Amino acid sequence: MTFFKAAVSDIRNSLLARNPCVCVTTAFVLGIILYRIVPYSTSIQIWTITLVVSAFVCIALSNVCKKLHIHVLLCYFSIAGYVCSALHQQQYALIPESDIVVGRIISNNEEKSKTYKVLLETIDRTPCKSVVYIKKDSNSQSLCYGDVISLKNTFRLIENNDSSSFDYKLFLANQYIYSQAYVTSTQWERVGHQNSISAFCMQFRKTALNTLKNIGLTEKNHRLIAALTFGDKSLLDDDTKKEFQTAGAMHILAVSGLHVGIINGLLLFAFAFIRNRKLLWLKLLCCISGIWAYACITGMSPSVQRASIMCTMVSIALLLKRHCSTYNTLAAAAFFSLFLSPNDLFSIGFQLSYAAVLSIVYFGTLIQNLFHPETPIGTYVWGIIAVSVAVQIGTMPLTLYYFGIIPTYSLLTNIIVIPLSFIILTLTILVLATSWIPLISSTLVAILNFFTTYLQDAIADINSFPHPQINVQISFGQSLWFYTIVGILVVGIEMWQKRKERLELTMI
């Protein structure tokens, strides 16, 4: 028991004390969870007063008893997390009240069999986010992000489909979407357009995809690149999604840290000519701007937010010549994301993204240090294996809980798809950059078609292997037990390392 307490104390002193953002974010998350368990509604003014008064109380308690200042700080941010959740939850109405609703489209058109699906946010009164299905015609086909439309109020609360086990209502509620509507051609009209950074980015994405298609990209490859490069999975058919999921390659279709890392590497290479130390700020500013532009173009998913914030903080630390803790940076990224949208905590993408990175940071290094290949190819393969195993340790409980499958050949898949993803993403950028030079762009498109087709063929081949996936469904409680075991494993590793260090010191 003494060793256990010593290990916990070491973790607290070495990890939490040096990474204050970890403490703050943990408390903030507890506040969000508490609101989900025990929600309470009151006016915005009351919540604001509560937050201000609790801040003064915490400061007073901290001054009275210096030993309690950490506990008081954690208590305050727990309250802040609770209040932040309440404010966001109360910001949006359930259903628009007026007969005629005016709203702004905040998504791209998603084509269905008989309709176009868009996400609408009302702008004429209390904000309300709704899913709207508009009957297909030439007018609805031309709708784009930022268009303002007026429509007849045919909204109703979202309900789950009894034939499906997926909780669609909760999924949309986590995005503050509570209602949906179906409108015919005569029940709506376009009344304007609101320019914004998001609207500009979505239009840029649409233009870029049209450019790729017009230059000569095949239809199947065009749909895959739309997802892999720009995060638009609406064009993918269900069979393709199923193949990538079974092969364990779904993560490359969800734009994430891998993609942001590639973009950051390409930007650093592009601005490598800036070698003057005094102009380092300009180089980092260009890279940060490029990363956030890409994040906006891809739709600002939780994983992209996390990677973009981390890259930004690392760049700033480099500029200021300060050490940047990975745990601190990751916690800060989570805090900013949750401050802007507390319900992201309950989204699958957010949970998988942060679980994967935490596991890579801790277990990835440990596994990689177990073996040191002598050849570059061996080093690359072992690195992919180490990262893949680390990701499985961190995300397996969530994967089994949400999806109920284990991709049997995920290690083999990652060895193949990760370098192909880098090649495809790089080629896509080069094609867009040289689209005005027909000879060069047509050559690059031919190469891009080859690698994209090869990627899809490789995924199809892996799916043809015997037993490509194992079906194992677990409950929420069982997933918590899995993470408890992982936590015990971490404490055990820390105990072993500390004991090893003490033995080495005594031998000296």
What distance in Å separates the CA atoms of residue 54 and residue 83, rounded to the nearest whole number? 11
What distance in Å separates the CA atoms of residue 351 and residue 353, rounded to the nearest whole number? 6
What distance in Å separates the CA atoms of residue 111 and residue 493, rounded to the nearest whole number? 51
* Phi, psi angles (nearest 5°) of residue 375: -110, 155
The widest CA-to-CA distance across the chain, in whole angstroms, is: 85
- Provide the β-strand partners of residue 105: 120
Tokens, residue 422: 């880098």
Query: What was the pLDDT predicted at 267?
Result: 81
3-state secondary structure of 153: coil
What distance in Å separates the CA atoms of residue 330 and residue 29, rounded to the nearest whole number? 14
Tokens, residue 280: 């380092």
Please name the residue ranges forming H helices in 65-146.
69-91, 138-141
Q: Are 47 and 83 in contact (CB under 8 A)?
A: yes
Q: Are 116 and 140 in contact (CB under 8 A)?
A: yes
| Exposure string for 432-448, b = 16+ CB within 10 A, e = fewer | bebbeeeeebeebbeeb
CATH of domain 100-194: 2.40.50
* Phi, psi angles (nearest 5°) of residue 149: -130, 155
State the distance between the two ends of the chain, measured CA to CA, in whole angstroms.
28
**Among candidate residues 77, 66, 59, 61, the one with its CA nearest the CA of residue 22:** 77
Query: What was the pLDDT predicted at 448?
Result: 92
* Phi, psi angles (nearest 5°) of residue 481: -65, -40
Query: What was the pLDDT predicted at 62?
Result: 64
What distance in Å separates the CA atoms of residue 388 and residue 367, rounded to the nearest whole number? 10
3-state secondary structure of 101: strand
Q: Are strands 177-183 and 129-135 parallel, antiparallel or unpaired?
A: parallel
Q: Residue 45 CB: number of other CB atoms within 10 A?
A: 8
pTM: 0.84
H or E stretch covering 332: helix 326-340
Tokens, residue 331: 């916690």
Query: What was the pLDDT predicted at 2?
Result: 54
Residue by residue, pLDDT tens for the chain (508 residues) are 455 555 555 555 555 567 778 888 999 999 999 999 988 877 777 878 887 887 777 777 666 666 666 777 788 888 889 989 988 888 888 888 778 889 899 888 888 888 989 999 988 777 889 999 999 888 888 888 889 999 988 888 888 877 666 778 888 888 889 999 999 888 899 988 888 888 888 888 888 888 888 888 888 888 888 888 887 887 788 888 888 888 888 877 777 777 788 788 788 778 877 777 777 788 888 888 888 888 888 877 777 887 888 888 877 777 666 777 788 888 888 898 899 889 989 888 888 888 888 888 888 888 888 888 888 888 888 888 888 888 888 888 888 888 888 888 888 888 888 888 888 988 988 888 888 888 888 899 999 999 999 999 999 898 888 888 888 888 888 888 999 998 888 888 877 877 777 777 676 6
User: What is the DSSP code (8-state) at residue 13?
Assistant: I
H or E stretch covering 157: strand 156-157
Query: What was the pLDDT predicted at 182?
Result: 92
> CATH 2.40.50 residue ranges in the chain?
100-194
Tokens, residue 124: 């004429």
Q: Are strands 147-152 and 188-193 parallel, antiparallel or unpaired?
A: antiparallel
Classify residue 163 as exposed, middle or buried by CB count within 10 Å of its CB (0-12, 13-18, 19+): exposed
Query: What was the pLDDT predicted at 6?
Result: 56
Q: Are 166 and 187 in contact (CB under 8 A)?
A: no
User: What is the DSSP code (8-state) at residue 151?
Assistant: E
Any idea which residue has 């055990």 for tokens? 492
